[in-house]
Amino acid sequence: MSQQVRVRFAPSPTGPLHIGGVRTALYNYLFARKMGGKMLLRIEDTDQNRFVPGAEEYILESLRWVGIEIDEGQGIGGPHAPYRQSERKDIYRVEAERLVAEGKAYYAFDTADELDAMRKRLEAANAPAAQYNAITRMQMKNSLTLKPEDVKARIDAGDPYVIRLKTPRKEEVRLNDLIRGWVNVHSSAIDDKVLLKSDGLPTYHLANVVDDHIMGITHVIRGEEWLPSAPLHVLLYRYLGWESTMPQFAHLPLLLKPEGNGKLSKRDADLGGFPIFPLQWTDPFSGTVARGFREDGYLPEAVVNFLALLGWNPGTEQELFTMAELISSFDIAQIHKAGARFDIEKAKWFNHQYIRQRPNEELAPAVQQQAEANGLTCSADKAIKIAGLLKERVNFAHELFTEARTIFYTPEVYDETIAAAKWNADAVRAVTVFRDALQSFDGEFMADTIKHTLSDTLQQAGIKQGKIMQAMRLALTGSGTGPDLMLTMEIIGKDEVIKRLEQALETLKTPAS
């Protein structure tokens, strides 16, 4: 029997989760569900200098908002708890010390100044890479160059030290990325990375590998920015003796600027006036507020659909996917290698698709809130009708009110071009007879009764309906275009309709012929 798939999303709480991070979480989730596996959430907070209060809560809330369910991990619990790396310190130290004992890592005591001096020396000598490695380590202060008793004395005296990986000098490191294929790196390109820092906490590399192993992770699906670190991780699996159960890697394509060149940045979002964070975020230090997809009016299912297709597609024409459909179609083999252009217009298009599918009752509160904010009252019934009338025409629920301005407000101006073209003698007559008919109308003022009244009236007056409809709309709304006019009248209400027809007759100049 094959092993159960276990994947993890492993964000660092260094600020608001970037939308690219949400995509990473989503791909992990889709794969886990597709394979009947488990999705873990691990918080990688070993870099204490970059810790930002509130970021972890933000991550959890973002995942909840888009509908990514975690099976095991931070906020949920599970057999490998705790899932916050800062609470797992001792685990990493044991492994780092084991590597030292086995001759695969070493203690290094170099101060910041000494490291700096080394870098300068190497740069001055035009060394290809000024780094701590198989060659330079022998000129530095570490347990490979110092006598064992000196090393012990320093540690006993509490001298600060780090543990560094003893990278082999000449070895090929290979990994078969599920998206990119074989990646080969020569070990000389990997430096003697710090595994355990002087504050006793592990670096990302050590903690990540140790936890993925302990937590039984089968597939590491993460952003392309981690591809350069992957060979180092492979080396660590080898040194730790875990190569046979090493997870498979899949490095996701970058999210590119809207123009398609270079990596998407916060600056692009600010310039373009669009969000790149799932939720609004207030920076706890500066108080700066960054906009979020949620607060900007995007529906979570639209964001999910948009993100799913940013770097993957199932090879069909289908564009609209529910989460369940995404799960059943998802396949790592269909993830693209090339970066994915972040096109906010596409996100709006998806939102439009989901807004129009939303029940009117769910969109109505947005109309009521905006009406209220504009000093108007709007009954739930009216708001529901407005949502039904206009949802095809908007990308966001908050745009419904703007679209409905002609319903809420009596026209103050009339489109001059339409007036010049359509406000003729027939139009005046049509508006007049229709107004008269409405004055004696005592049925239920509904779109279809209005429609019958209008066509009967016009027929009796011998006026062709097609010729005067734009003028009728102009009289009622001030504009030549808009949604279904009968429904619009129903929502406006009989008295207001009559009032508007009268105002139009008074305001619009009576044409000569």
Interface with ligand GLU (CB under 6 A): 10-12, 44, 204, 208, 222, 226
Q: At what angle do helices 485-492 and 465-477 cross, to 10 degrees?
A: 40
Task: Give 205 or 429: the residue with its C-beta nearer to ligand GLU.
Answer: 205
Q: Which of 34, 38, 193, 266 is catalytic?
A: 266
Task: Give 20 or 275: the residue with its C-beta nearer to ligand GLU.
Answer: 20
Q: Give CA–CA dist 472/422, Å, rounded.
A: 9
Distances (CA, A) of 146 to 101, 140, 200, 261, 512: 16, 9, 21, 50, 106
Estimate to the nearest angstrom the gap between the alpha carbon of 22 and the chain centroid: 5
Minimum distance from residue 14 beta carbon to ligand GLU (Å): 7
Distances (CA, A) of 65 to 26, 53, 202: 12, 20, 31
What is the residue type of 449?
Answer: T
Pairing of strands 194-196, 162-165: antiparallel
Task: Give 222 or 435: the residue with its C-beta nearer to ligand GLU.
Answer: 222
Q: Give CA–CA dist 150/265, Å, rounded.
A: 48
Cα angle vertex 75, ends 70, 81, to 5°? 95
DSSP of 457-501, one letter per residue? HHHHHT--HHHHHHHHHHHHHSSS--S-HHHHHHHH-HHHHHHHH
Q: Give CA–CA dist 138/15, Å, rounded.
A: 39
Task: Give 251 or 391: the residue with its C-beta nearer to ligand GLU.
Answer: 251
Task: Give 65 or 226: the residue with its C-beta nearer to ligand GLU.
Answer: 226
Could you tell me which of 62, 71, 65 has the C-alpha nearest to residue 11? Answer: 62
Helix (H, G, I), strand (E, B) or coil at 108: strand
Strand-pair partners of 142: 108
Question: What is the number of other CB atoms lying within 10 angstroms of the CB of residue 148?
Answer: 8
Peptide bond into 82 cis (omega under 30): yes
Residue with tokens 């050590």: 206
Helix (H, G, I), strand (E, B) or coil at 451: helix
Minimum distance from residue 225 beta carbon to ligand GLU (Å): 8
Could you tell me which of 204, 192, 228 has the C-alpha nearest to residue 106? Answer: 192
The number of residues in the chain equals 513
Task: Give 12 or 424: the residue with its C-beta nearer to ligand GLU.
Answer: 12
Helices (H), 170-251: 204-214, 230-239
Residue with tokens 């089968």: 218
Task: Give 45 or 301: the residue with its C-beta nearer to ligand GLU.
Answer: 45
Task: Give 215 or 355: the residue with its C-beta nearer to ligand GLU.
Answer: 215
Residue 197 annotated as catalytic: no
Cβ contacts of 398 within 8 Å, gap of 6 or more: 297, 366, 370
Pairing of strands 72-73, 38-41: parallel
Task: Give 230 or 340: the residue with its C-beta nearer to ligand GLU.
Answer: 230
Contact between 354 and 306 (Cβ < 8 Å): no
Task: Give 44 or 415: the residue with its C-beta nearer to ligand GLU.
Answer: 44
Contact between 41 and 73 (Cβ < 8 Å): yes
Which residues are catalytically annotated? 266
